Structure 1
Amino acid sequence: MFPLRTTIGVVALVLAGLLLAGCSTVKLAYGQAPQLLAWQLNRYLDLSQPQAERVRDELAELHRWHRDTLLPEHAGLLQKLRQQLPAPMSPEQACRAYADLRTQIDQLLARAEPSLVWLASDLSEAQLRSLQKRQADSNADWKKEWLDPTPDKLREHRYQQLLSRTEDFYGSLQEPQKAALRRYIAQSSFDPQRTYAERLRRQTDLVQVLRQMAQERGNTDQARTLVRGYLARLNTSPDAAYQRYAQALVEEGCAGFAAVHATMTPAQRLRAVASVGAYEQDFITLAAQRVSRSDPVPQ
């Protein structure tokens, strides 16, 4: 479940044009996605040999389905974004693009559900302890990056991250454009303490669900219900206050993107159009590869 969130994050960043530097990088990263995800799963869960072999097969099949089904839809989203970028964009336009992406994410999770149910039902107590250890290690890294710095250092860290991604997309920024980024960060509702508390809630929820499934091993219907419940809570926190906080961050992100985009010159917007167009063409090319392949799909 957790590596899928990594995949989703990568897709979202590519759609925003802020992650990868060149088309060949996109193709290489996408082609290696099943192997990277299998490695990540094994790192968290210390998979047995039979589990690792089945995970590789399941991820290869999910990857083929994603290439055939969702990559053309991703390209369609990029085409819409590319057509909008030359002009100013409203926060509502940015949020519609985000909502379209969320719909595609839901399709991916629905397709992955049988694999998630199988693997979650097959984990041992030792593997759950391995997961908890990895969670603790990851939390320590997260705290070091987001909780330990002073507020001023945290704002500067966020600014430098956002500046780097934005300049990858638009090219070098001038001082008025950098000031727009700083205003967005200064006005942001981002609260690392609140975000960390939700992170811990999700991790505890995951381990509890996996232990419930272990207790009722063999009950596929119950396992499916538990997985769906967990994914629903992952998508929408049961904490109403956190729901409002998360929604505020989305709305601020949409407004912040629109405000920063409004400061860009025509040349910078054309560079963004070219960047998105390159990713769009990459997705189209990758999606077409299935037609020429003769390898069998694992059953």
Structure 2
Amino acid sequence: MCSNRIALAKESAGVPITKANGIDIHYEEHGNSNDPAMLLIMGFGAQLTLWPDELVEALAGHGYRVIRYDNRDIGLSHKFDGVKAPGLVKMTLMGKLGLTPRVPYTLADMAADGVGLLDALEIERAHIVGASMGGMIAQHVAHKYPDRCLSFTQVFSTTGHAKLPPARKEALQALVTRPKSTEEEALVAHGIMLARTIGSPGYPSPEERLRERTLASVRRSFYPEGPTRHLSAIVADGDRSTMLRDVRVPTLVLHGEDDPLVPCEGGRHTAECIPDAKLKTIPGWGHDLPLDLIDELAAEIAGHARESVAA
């Protein structure tokens, strides 16, 4: 049995960690350091490893210096131990009353983390790619720091508009339910269940690959308190539709037509809000990055990045 705070695989000496926005951020780089930078921002409760190695390598192969990192409160980055987030019911009620709940940190703070990482790496401008909650964070980057963005690609994310379709009940339940215990096998089983529930019906992940990736994630770090604060940041952020109408960064929206967690309407609405945004939807794609779509997604992201610079 392990405590909530313990990482099942300890941080080893020499892992790349830097100060960004005043906190420790763990990151990895792939590709040629002289190539244009591409910053990958992952989503709710997810470590940087949820960006598949195959996708990272494909993007590097397209000629980009690819940087992925652990958001605050997850993986090997800074943990906000002991900082309590308000309950979901309270936050939802306050939102309906037009009140903004006090939360440990905001998505705007997390956007500043990403820009702080660019500062630490002495990168003036980068192509910004965000998935799920990472897409929401990237929206803030594109809005508040447009001079740091060469392009913006949003992957299965949303504007947060209240009238958009919600997640399917089973997908949301799987996301917020905690494992039955902190024994390794229970954690792996829970991770596989979540991946299957929100994953792509048209591109199911092979069982062996899914188990290997889930086990590696569990052994890298297990910290269930971070997602609670991530969720509070998402709920407190509310509707970003008005903000997105001011975004002028060249934008591509990628979304699965069979996403059970963030329905495709969230991506469509984002593309409607951001002037001149491009939208591509893919049948059979859910809320994951399946191996069968890696080449197509890498080509779309890299192609948009190239076109944005050439325009």
The reply to whether TM is greater than 0.5 is no
Superposition TM-score, scaled by structure 1 size: 0.28
Higher relative contact order (CA 8 A, sep 6+): 1
- Give 1 or 2 for the bigger CA radius of gyration: 1
Higher strand share: 2
Higher helix share: 1
